[in-house]
Amino acid sequence: MAPASHPVEAPVVVLGGGPVGMVTALALARRDIPVIVLERGHDEVQSEWRGSTVHPPTTELLDELDLAAPVLKEAVRVHRLDYRDLELTESACFSYDALEGETRYPFRLQYEQYKLVRLLRRAVSEAPNVDMRFGHDVVGLRQDDTRVELVVAVGDARTAVTGRWVVAADGAHSTARKLLDVPFPGFTYPSLSLVVATPFRFEDAVPDLGAVGYWSGPKGRFSLIRTPDIWRAALSTATGVDDEPPPGTHPAFLAAVELLLGGRPDARELPLSQHQLYRSHQRLAASFRIGRVLLAGDAAHLSSTTGGMGLNSGIHDAMAVATALAEPDQDAATIGYAERRRSVAERFVQPTTTENRTSADGVELAGRRERLIRLRALAENPEDAKMYLRRVSMLGIQH
């Protein structure tokens, strides 16, 4: 069926109703720029495990949208970062007190991504200049020097949506990026990651347990992160396995939990709320601006989940692209956006997340001990500790 003869138009069309798309739309709306948002899914946000880490500069950006307060009200505040080992006694602890004076929010937050999306969608629904459309799947794209026209499937029908600019925040499998044939080079990690959500009270079983802890171990990295409702446990798994057993019987999961809990009999009987197996990637789009289409978030770059920088850097993209589109000279500003944000991804986010994962995945005992001793030395030196926390918290990175 041909597109409708009278297309819907707006200055900016945002593709994707996830956190990056919603922040983009809300930030544009706050700048009095009308927006159409096209989301292929429905308006219900599933309670599923994805990102949960909110770093200090991201909280500052949410504050610009009047959303920091509700997040702070519910989120777990992380005041220290712990590095331990499942077999060794060496450890390192970084206190976020080192960031006092560096940011208005000298702590990390743990707040599930799906809750953030719900909060953002409520705010967007109250913005009079945002037209939010669910069940709209982009299937075609063409552009010239003045506008972008999208062919959109709505059920069995086809319609056209036109904007002077399009922000593609439509995720790792971005339709816009594929329609524009934008190269997305990089690699996929060979090992899988297993994430398990459990209400088990680890704080009662593990001495001096903080809200965020990263363990090295004989099978690879293992982490425990406290969110408002539940504990999230994550570990690396065997290479190249596509039919992993359920997490409650997963050998690596059992081994890690048993070491963590010191052989307690209930280590094999953890109640599980959710579990997910996924692969991590390091990929970077060749360009973040293709004509009048701007890429943001996972559509533009993918990084390892270790360190929680994916969600945060996507939100930083969103605020930066909205700022660029509010400039009088949009052409120059969007070129600047594309160059700066790609540089941040290439020179900071990807190298940092790669180093985080590579060092955490080491299984050789001597190497694990050496890493923890090195981290402890950093943590015990005030200036080194501040610099380390600034880096892992994404502070000082130009948005």
C-alpha 105/C-alpha 99 separation (Å) is 8
- Of 358, 255, 259, 261, which Cα lies nearest the Cα of 304? 358
> Given a cut of 90, is residue 20 above it in pLDDT?
yes
- Give residue-wise pLDDT tens across range 34-45: 999 999 998 888
What's residue 243's pLDDT?
A: 55
Lowest mean pLDDT among 50-54, 172-176, 320-324: 50-54
Q: Could you tell me which residue, 260 or 297, shows the higher pLDDT? A: 297
Give the residues across from 289 on adjacent strands: 294
What's residue 149's pLDDT?
A: 97
C-alpha 273/C-alpha 253 separation (Å) is 15
C-alpha 156/C-alpha 33 separation (Å) is 31
Q: Where are the alpha helices (DSSP H) in the chain?
A: 19-30, 56-64, 68-74, 113-125, 175-179, 202-205, 251-260, 309-325, 330-344, 350-360, 365-380, 382-392
DSSP per residue over 304-373, as a string? -STTSHHHHHHHHHHHHHHHHHTSSSHHHHHHHHHHHHHHHIIIIIHHHHHHHHHHHT---HHHHHHHHH
C-alpha 255/C-alpha 268 separation (Å) is 9
- Give residue-wise pLDDT tens across range 177-191: 999 999 999 998 887
What's residue 3's pLDDT?
A: 45
Using CB atoms within 10 Å of the CB of residue 252, give its burial: 0 to 12 exposed, 13 to 18 middle, 19+ buried.
Answer: buried
Q: Could you tell me which residue, 8 or 287, shows the higher pLDDT? A: 287
Task: Report how far apart, in Å, the C-alpha atoms of 24 and of each of 29, 165, 259 are.
Answer: 9, 12, 44
- Work out the mean pLDDT of the chain and round it to a whole number: 90
> Given a cut of 70, is residue 250 above it in pLDDT?
no
- Give residue-wise pLDDT tens across range 287-324: 999 999 999 999 999 988 777 888 999 999 999 999 99
CB atoms within 10 A of CB 231: 20
The structure tokens 């999230």 sit at 232
The structure tokens 């000082």 sit at 396
Architecture per CATH, 8-75+105-186+281-360 = 3-Layer(bba) Sandwich (3.50)
Tokens of 47: 């309670």
Give the pLDDT mean for 107-116: 96
Confidence of residue 49 (pLDDT cuts 50, 70, 90): low
Give the residues across from 13 on adjacent strands: 36, 166
- Give residue-wise pLDDT tens across range 318-348: 999 999 999 999 999 999 999 999 999 999 8
Using CB atoms within 10 Å of the CB of residue 177, give its burial: 0 to 12 exposed, 13 to 18 middle, 19+ buried.
Answer: buried
| 62 neighbors 71 (Cβ within 8 angstroms) | yes
- Of 227, 218, 221, 174, which Cα lies nearest the Cα of 197? 227
Using CB atoms within 10 Å of the CB of residue 295, give its burial: 0 to 12 exposed, 13 to 18 middle, 19+ buried.
Answer: buried
